[in-house]
Structure 1
Amino acid sequence: MITLAPRAPSMLSDFEVTFPTEIDIVMFRTFKAPRALVWDLWTRAEHVRRWWGPHGFENEICEMDVRPGGRFRLGMVAPDGTPCPCEGTYIEVVAPERLVYEGMPHVHPCGSGLPPESRVTITFKEEGANTRLTLHAKMLSPERVQAAVDQGFAIGWADGFERLEALAMEQQNERNPKSGHRFSESIARQEDGRFEIVTSHRFAASPQELFALFADPAHLTQWWGPDGFTSSVPVFDFREGGEFRIVMHGPDGRDHDNHKRFVEIVENERIVFDHIQPTHEFRMSIEYVADGDHTDMIWRMDFAPSEHEELLKTFIPQANEQNFERLDAYLKSRKP
């Protein structure tokens, strides 16, 4: 029989734990945050180290390589100084829907949130403006399940979910001084194998201001690209049918030469161009939608079928959010 350590009923609100078989533990929690944000808080080390583990625990180390076959390592420390390391390997990464990882052999029965030699599947389901998260841990034996529960596995996750909820609320308040969410994303797959990734961000600026920061390469090079990248623009023929070439210089010293061609330009409203690369061709539409003294900038990326689809679905939303944050910082630097 599975037993749970005592816990105040109020602290179990909005948290459910079930034991469907002798080797499975399934937990649920609904977060008052969009799925894109909850996924982001699960897959970026700078966020995970702030919420992972029970109340009072700290993560001195947090290393994450979020891709199939990638490893992650957390150096969690209990309030009394006891080390509680957690190590695993990502098996499946489907942004922003599902994460699957396996725990490495470990002396601590609960595995600091990832029991040794277990497989954990986390699913993220949209429920209106909220996200329903399911954590399913499958272990080697009933004895492993009982040992994990005795060491506070379920209760530790209840605490971790509370910390995650608090961080999600904090992030939304920071990102959204106005109503609505500053960053959002969605992914849709079409019958012909094409797929679309849509990301958006709300800026305290007019469409005219944002359009101008793209239309002039002197501005564009100041903010284009994910964190750590710089850019140069050797060709920029800003007209319908004109060529657009931007070279992104990565933090590892490698250059990424991107060839594009403008398809449609509607001043202060819309910019459409084709990205012409053999490995990932797509058509990108940048839309500027005014809302009072703010503007929602929407990036629609319509991808041709690609063998790198899953990697692109994982990488693109995160890269776009970083790009938006760089644009926001550059926009603020230009204002008194």
Structure 2
Amino acid sequence: MQHDTPTTKTLTLERTFHATPRELWDAWTEPEQYAKWLNPAPGHDLVIHEWDLRPGGKVRFDMPQPNGDLNPQTGVFHELEPEKRLVTGEPDKSFLLEATFEPVDDRRTRLVVNVTGIPPEYREPAIIGWNQCFDKLAGVLGRMQSDVVLVRTINAPRERVWQAWTDGDLLKQWYGPKGFTIPTVESDARVGGTYRYLMRSPDGQEFWGAGVYKELDSPERLVRTEAMTDPQGKVITHEEMPETTVSVTLEELDGKTRMTLRHSGLTKRGMEGATMGWHGAIEKLEKTVNEA
């Protein structure tokens, strides 16, 4: 939605996003996120050179175009009200961009953007460009990375739980969501070593995965990467399936083990599936270590 106010040379655009005010604020104020969506040109991110997030702080970036033009941009932050409102633009305020974040409910936020100082001949292209940016922003918000953290007390010694995480034969017995099987596992449990597995769903679909052991402090803590691969072991990554990190901490509790699992780098869309998958896998893990 857009509203044109010629008397004030202000263009107003609105869109409601499935995100909290904090998430939208971060997408506007964290340069890594901002660079991903502000350029309407498909497949082109901003190249940010300066980002001083404070009133009066400078911002400077290139907005690359498909024809190769860098399209350099400069400005300053005029006003910053965290999670509510920000204003950027030219130092003399001849061009201003105001963004406000209005909660709709606990998961949706209305973004209102007022752009002042656009020359008349650029107003229609600006409307098209901003809607393209909003589409990219929706994608960025949908891919914001989050962590799944699970804590479970397991009725087995810590050394046994450690073995279940590092021994290929034991991994084969429990890894993967409930109902999934692991026909093949290779595990080289040393720092820099790799693991690789084939996971089969109840309906017969097959998924290959692999990772690298980053930290191994037996029997207390391990950290490893996790990624999908093709059958030949080539990592498959894209925006909805990034490479992630799994860290596991094991604490001794009078013959039992408190296990804290953190799965980091998941997309927001991937969090729900990962949480359900880990709950099912941990149930199988408990059965595996108790049967030994």
TM-score (norm 1): 0.43
